[in-house]
Structure formats: structure tokens, C-alpha cells
């Protein structure tokens, strides 16, 4: 069965889409130096980790999350600490997926993200094999009954095919595609636990893969966490709490408007923050950066941490084979992007050429 979402393009939705696009264009043209961009990206990852786990009941504060990721511990918070570490790892894998050359999102991508979220292990996480029910923690009443386990695999494949087809056709605005991806994943509820966190990661993957990554310095999770009831209310649509009797064909316009409003707010905040960061730096590196390709720009982040880097570090950052990294380095040495030190594979390292030092 082909997945066909039910929604309408409203005046409010159109306004939010226009606001998103305006912020996206503004941020893309701002002259932000690599060190500042690296700092903003890390800040966004920490914020996403804190709020996405907080939505699921994690009790660590933003400051404690940062401490945990730097090796700190807190009494009787072992589960919370694991959740934070696992989600941060999942964000790292998400970055690798974003950098991958393929534009398609695969079932394995989603299953691996879920595995990292739940166990911190980079392996395929199978879907649930029996019925699960979402209940109100206070009253114990049924809030939502997802589809039967036998239908989950087919529904997920339909969703993945729909996402890839819509992105390829480029007829629907990307924020709407991302909103629907989030809603439908949460509605299918393919796992016993970790569905919300994985849905939010999938949303980010869709946005980044489709040119709405905003330099990796935004976070949508804070918008959801600051008013959780509004988040849950927006996701709860249809005439029944049963997937087969109301949720399957429900009108999700309200959810899409809610999602795009949050995205517009988050992008506007990033626009302001990026603008302030750009003003704080007198040197405009935008012209120099245009001389570099996307992979070279990514590798610059390694040089912000160390004067010398290795082929292995480059391979891990770009999610490519070590042999491919070696070939890239040879090309970059020839084009005076980097200089090589040492000949043997084990001792070989690279330094940024003088022309590019001001970027780091």
C-alpha cells in the first residue's frame, strides 16, 4: 500500500515556510569563520542531546550533560548518563550519514540510529515483534495503540520510499517532508522504546540531506521540550487512539503547522546567533572558503584542534575508506591545500598549507 499523507497547505503554513527560507538564505550567506562554526555546531549538538533526552524523562541539566560527555558522573544517574552518551553517539553517526555521498535514506540508517540511541552500539536494530501500547503514566489509560507488529516492516519501507521519492521529486517543501517523516515514524512506533529520539534524528537527517542543515548549528528539540504537552497534542490526531481506526488516514495539517512554526523559530534564533558571531569577527573568510570543496571544509575542523592530522583521522571524519583518504591527501598535497610530513604510512601526517592558516 502506498503511503499518502493527508494535509492541507494553509496560510499560516505558507508564512512559516517563507520565514524558514528567509533564515536559511541569510545564514548561508553570512561570513562565519571555521573556529566559530565548529563551536556553534558543538553547542547545537549539546543542546539537542539535552532536550531530546529530557523529552523522554532524562533528569540531567544542560550543564550536567556537558560534564557527562567530558567524563563526569552523578550519583544515581547512571541510566540518564547512558542515554546522554548514546544520543550523542547517534548524533555523531548522523553526521557521518549527512556527509555520505548518497542522497537516499535507507532502512539500515534508521535501524542503526535506533541501535545507537538504545544501546550505544552501531548495529541494525530489529523492529518490535509484538504489540505495544502507550499509556498515560498517571491514569494508566491507553493513549495510543500503534499498528500490529506484522505490519510494521511494510509501513516503514513505505515511509522510507515516500521520503526518498518526495525529496527526489522536489515538489513538496522540504520542511513538510521532514514534518511528515517525524509524524509517520512516531505513528508507526516501530520499536518498544526510543521511538521519539529516533524520529527526531530522522527529521534532522531529512533536513540535512536536502539542504536545510543550516550549517549544523540549529536544534529543534528545545522547541518541543519547552512545551511538551503542545508537542504531544500536535502529534495526537484522528478520531481514535487506535492506528487502524482514525490515525492511519488522519488529517495532519495541525502537526505540520506546529512543526514548521518550531522550525521557523529555531532558524530565526540561529540567524541571530550566526549574525552576532559573524559580526564578532573582523575577517571575512567567505571568499577564501569558496576555493575549497565540501570535504576540504570539513577537514579544516581537524586543524582547529591540532597542527598535524593523520590519514586515519580524515577517513573517520569523512566516513570513507583509508585508501580513499590517502588518494585525497595526495591530491590535496599536489594542490597546496596540505603539506605532507613523513613517507611511511604509520608515521605520515599532514599540516595545513600557509595560505589556509587564517581559516583556523
In a shared domain, residues 225 and 291 = no
Residue 1 counted as domain residue: no
Alpha-carbon torsion angle 87, 91, 93, 97, nearest 10: 140
Mean pLDDT of 8-26: 92
Asked if 264 and 300 sit in the same domain, the reply is no
Nearest to 292 by CA among 214, 216, 208, 355: 355
- For 10-30, what is the mean pLDDT? 90
Instruction: Answer whether residue 1 shows pLDDT above 70.
Output: no
**28 SS3 class:** helix
Query: Is 60 exceeded by the pLDDT of residue 284?
Result: no
Place of cell 544501546: 119
217/318 same-domain check: no
Give me the mean pLDDT over the 42-54 stretch.
Answer: 89
pLDDT at 41: 80
| Higher local confidence (pLDDT), 217 or 176 | 176
Encode pLDDT of 122-176 as tens digits. 888 999 999 998 887 778 788 899 999 999 999 999 999 999 999 999 999 999 9
CATH of the domain at 77: 1.10.3290.10
- Contacts of 197 by beta carbon, 8 Å cutoff, 6+ apart: 52, 53, 55, 56, 87, 90, 117
Q: Are residues 252 and 291 in the same domain?
A: no
89-122 pLDDT per residue, tens: 999 999 889 888 777 899 999 999 999 999 998 8
Average pLDDT, the chain: 88
Mark out the alpha helices in the chain (DSSP H runs): 11-28, 34-55, 62-69, 78-99, 107-119, 149-169, 174-188, 195-209, 221-225, 228-235, 253-279, 286-289, 294-303, 311-318, 322-334
Residue 49 burial (C-beta neighbours within 10 Å; 0-12, 13-18, 19+): buried
Task: Note the pTM of the prediction, 2 decimals.
Answer: 0.78
Same domain, 271 and 307: no
Residue 3 lies in a domain: no
pLDDT, residue 329, reads: 92
Q: Would you place residue 258 in the very low, low, confident or very high pLDDT band (cuts 50, 70, 90)? A: very high
Which residue among 247, 278, 309 closes a domain?
278
Q: Is the pLDDT of residue 244 over 60?
A: yes
Per residue in 175-211, pLDDT (tens digit) is 999 999 999 999 999 999 999 999 999 999 999 999 8
Residue 143 and residue 218 share a domain: yes
Mean pLDDT (whole number) for 58-83? 91
Domain-located, residue 6: no
Same domain, 195 and 296: no
Query: How many domains would you assign to the chain?
Result: 2
Q: Please check whether residue 4 lies inside any domain of the structure.
A: no
Q: Is residue 181 part of a domain?
A: yes
Q: What is the pLDDT of residue 288?
A: 74
Domain that holds residue 168: 11-27+34-278
Residues whose CB is less than 8 angstroms from the CB of residue 272 and which lie 6 or more positions away in sequence, other chains included: none
Q: What is the dihedral of CA 106, 111, 117, 119, to 10 degrees?
A: -140
Q: Among 258, 278, 298, give the residue marking a domain's end.
A: 278
Contacts of 45 (CB under 8 A, 6+ apart): 88, 91
Q: How confident is the model at residue 285 (pLDDT cuts 50, 70, 90)?
A: low
For residues 201 and 295, state if they share a domain.
Answer: no
**Same domain membership, residue 298 and residue 199:** no
For 268-281, the pLDDT digits (tens) are 888 887 777 667 65
Tell me which residue of 10, 21, 38 sits closest to 267, measured CA to CA: 21
Supply the DSSP symbol for 130: S
Domain CATH for 343: 1.10.10.10
Q: Is residue 293 part of a domain?
A: yes
Cell output for 347? 608515521
Q: What does the buried/exposed string (b/e) look like for 276-310 if buried means 16 or more CB atoms within 10 Å of the residue's CB?
A: ebbeeeeeebeeebeebeeebebbbbbbbeeeebb
For residue 294, pLDDT beyond 90: no
pLDDT of residue 123: 84
Lowest mean pLDDT among 16-25, 61-70, 137-146, 269-278: 269-278
Amino acid at each position: 500500500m502506498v503511503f499518502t499523507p493527508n494535509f492541507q497547505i494553509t496560510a499560516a503554513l505558507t508564512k512559516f515556510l517563507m520565514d524558514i527560507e528567509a533564515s536559511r538564505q541569510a545564514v548561508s550567506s553570512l561570513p562565519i569563520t571555521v573556529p566559530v562554526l565548529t563551536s556553534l555546531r558543538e553547542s547545537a549538538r549539546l543542546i539537542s542531546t539535552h532536550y531530546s533526552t529530557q523529552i523522554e524523562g532524562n533528569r540531567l541539566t544542560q550543564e550536567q550533560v556537558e560534564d557527562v560527555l567530558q567524563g563526569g558522573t552523578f550519583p544515581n544517574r547512571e541510566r540518564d548518563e547512558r542515554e546522554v552518551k548514546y544520543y550523542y553517539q547517534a548524533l555523531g553517526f548522523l553526521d557521518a550519514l549527512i556527509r555520505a555521498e548518497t542522497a537516499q535514506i535507507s532502512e539500515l540508517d534508521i535501524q542503526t540510529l535506533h541501535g545507537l540511541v538504545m544501546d550505544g552500539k552501531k548495529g541494525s536494530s530489529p523492529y518490535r515483534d509484538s504489540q505495544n501500547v502507550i499509556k498515560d503514566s498517571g491514569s494508566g489509560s491507553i493513549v495510543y495503540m500503534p499498528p500490529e507488529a506484522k505490519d510494521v516492516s511494510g509501513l516503514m519501507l513505505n515511509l522510507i520510499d515516500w521520503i526518498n521519492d518526495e525529496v527526489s521529486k522536489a515538489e513538496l517543501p522540504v520542511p513538510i517532508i521532514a514534518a511528515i517523516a517525524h509524524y509517520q515514524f512516531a505513528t508507526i512506533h516501530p520499536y518498544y522504546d526510543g521511538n521519539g529520539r529516533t524520529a527526531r534524528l530522522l527529521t534532522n537527517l531529512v533536513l540535512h540531506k536536502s539542504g536545510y542543515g543550516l550549517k549544523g548549528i540549529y536544534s529543534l528539540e528545545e522547541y518541543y521540550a519547552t512545551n511538551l504537552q503542545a508537542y504531544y497534542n500536535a502529534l495526537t490526531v484522528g478520531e481514535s487512539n487506535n492506528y487502524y481506526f482514525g490515525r492511519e488516514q488522519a488529517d495532519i495539517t495541525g502537526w505540520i503547522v506546529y512543526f514548521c512554526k518550531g522550525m521557523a523559530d529555531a532558524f530565526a534564533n540561529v540567524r541571530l546567533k550566526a549574525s552576532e558571531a559573524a559580526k564578532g569577527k573582523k575577517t571575512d573568510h567567505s571568499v577564501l572558503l569558496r576555493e575549497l570543496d565540501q570535504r576540504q571544509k570539513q577537514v579544516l575542523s581537524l586543524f582547529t584542534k591540532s597542527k598535524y592530522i593523520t590519514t586515519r583521522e580524515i577517513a573517520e571524519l569523512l566516513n570513507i575508506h583509508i585508501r580513499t583518504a590517502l588518494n585525497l591527501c595526495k591530491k590535496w598535497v599536489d594542490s597546496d591545500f596540505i603539506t605532507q610530513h613523513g613517507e611511511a604510512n604509520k608515521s605520515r601526517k599532514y599540516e595545513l598549507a600557509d595560505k589556509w592558516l587564517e581559516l583556523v
